[in-house]
Structure 1
Amino acid sequence: MNKFISIALFLIILSNTAALAQKKAESDEVAQDTLKSIDIDPLTPAKAAFYSAVIPGLGQVYNKRYWKVPLVYGAIGTSLYFYLDSNKKYHQFRDEYKRRLEGKPSAEYDYLDDSRLISAQKFYQRNRDLSSLFVVGFYVLNIIDANVDAALMQFNVDDRLSIKPTIYQNNLNYKTNVGLNLSYNF
């Protein structure tokens, strides 16, 4: 009988050891699975920003966000068009005003008096300056977008992360409450 109990005890310990070893192997696989992630390259955002600084839109191509390239060129191109158009009209009105001061007015702007020529110069000069700010602003925004997009691509966004807004009824006064449940599943 004593021999039977010792054999049973030995088998129980052996089975528990095997079960523990199996659980440890499974936990190692889970640990390796959670550690197995995309390699993070800290220079990726800097590369994307540099590429966008050299050629606008190249950082978006580097990030494989091809749909943003027409937006970049559309924004910078439109602002550049309005800059060039306002600059041309500003110089036309300025040259006409200078001709009038010299006593050689042209027939093209004879319907405008001097005050209208000065106000047209100021209007187109202001539009030209604003357009130049937009060109520079969209260029800088292009660089910032490439940098931020490259940095955000390295974040772990997984199905195990979730935020679920819930509406529940309070048991004390039976009014509805709004809650936010943030969960992370291991």
Structure 2
Amino acid sequence: MLNKQSFLLLFCLLLTVSGFSQVQKDSTVNTTVDELNIDKALLSKREIDPLRPSKAAFYSAILPGLGQAYNKKYWKIPIVLGGITGGILVYDFNNKQYNRYRDAFKRRLAGFTDDEFFGTGATPFISDDALIRAQRQFRRNRDIAMLITVGIYVLNIIDANVDAHLLQFNVDENLAMRPHFQYNPMENSSDLGVTVNFKF
């Protein structure tokens, strides 16, 4: 009796499984592109050059702004060149002022009173302590200008490299994340959410 019930249960189970099974297509049969239902936008190929970021960084290292031109971000070139040129001009101005005050201070240490900051009277127009303070100030400004100029140069290289990476980033419509608003008639309420779409 137990064997008949087990046999009947096994038969019903096999019948149910075979009734819900799907017909599988033979994987060895060649499928043509016409048989596949593929969105034509997915078939368009976009060239990805793995050396593009390193080329952009190399070009920017050789000539600031050249990596931005390689990435076709022409609006960044005046910013890069203006920043580096401005830093060099500030450095040059402070270096010249530092040399003026240093030369005057050296002449005073040598015993001369004919420097441009001494004036016409017996007492100097600018004292020795003021010359020392001016030298310190212009030297500090010169060094800061040099650091800022080097920083802008390095940022120029980093910007070209990162921009070249981002130009190859996949941002087409097949990968999308959008907010959605949906009315739910069953609950008589509205739903807000975010939809993430992946189209293969």
TM-score (norm 1): 0.74
Deviations 1:98-137 (A, max 9, x none): 0000111335212111111001000000000011111111
| Partner Cα separation in structure 1 for residue 177 and residue 77 of structure 2 | 32
Instruction: Report how many aligned residue pairs link the two structures.
Output: 155
Match of 1:115 in 2: 129
Which aligned pairs between 1:1-186 and structure 2 lie closer than 5 A?
25-27=35-37, 29-30=38-39, 33-34=41-42, 36-110=44-118, 111-164=125-178, 181-186=194-199
| Partner Cα separation in structure 2 for residue 98 and residue 180 of structure 1 | 74
| Partner Cα separation in structure 2 for residue 62 and residue 56 of structure 1 | 11
Q: CA deviation at 1:164?
A: 3.9
SS in structure 2 of the partner of residue 69 of structure 1: helix
User: Could you tell which deviates more after superposition, 34-43 or 94-103?
Assistant: 34-43
- The code of the aligned residue for 1:114 comes to D
Q: Decide which structure has the larger Cα Rg and report it.
A: 2
Q: CA deviation at 1:26?
A: 3.9
| Partner Cα separation in structure 2 for residue 60 and residue 184 of structure 1 | 33
| Partner Cα separation in structure 1 for residue 54 and residue 193 of structure 2 | 36
SS in structure 1 of the partner of residue 35 of structure 2: helix
| Partner Cα separation in structure 1 for residue 46 and residue 91 of structure 2 | 44
Q: CA deviation at 1:23?
A: 11
Q: Is the 1:96–1:105 Cα contact (8 Å) retained in structure 2? A: no
**Is there any run of 5+ residues in structure 2 with no aligned partner, and where?**
1-30, 119-124, 183-191
- The code of the aligned residue for 1:50 comes to F
Higher helix fraction (1 or 2): 1
**Is there any run of 5+ residues in structure 1 with no aligned partner, and where?**
1-20, 169-178
Q: Is the 1:82–1:128 Cα contact (8 Å) retained in structure 2? A: yes
- The code of the aligned residue for 2:129 comes to S
Q: CA deviation at 1:24?
A: 7.7
- The code of the aligned residue for 1:181 comes to V
| Partner Cα separation in structure 1 for residue 151 and residue 162 of structure 2 | 16
TM-score (norm 2): 0.69
CA RMSD after TM alignment = 2.6
Q: Is the 2:53–2:165 Cα contact (8 Å) retained in structure 1? A: yes
Q: CA deviation at 1:22?
A: 10
* Identity among equivalent pairs (%): 47
SS in structure 2 of the partner of residue 134 of structure 1: helix
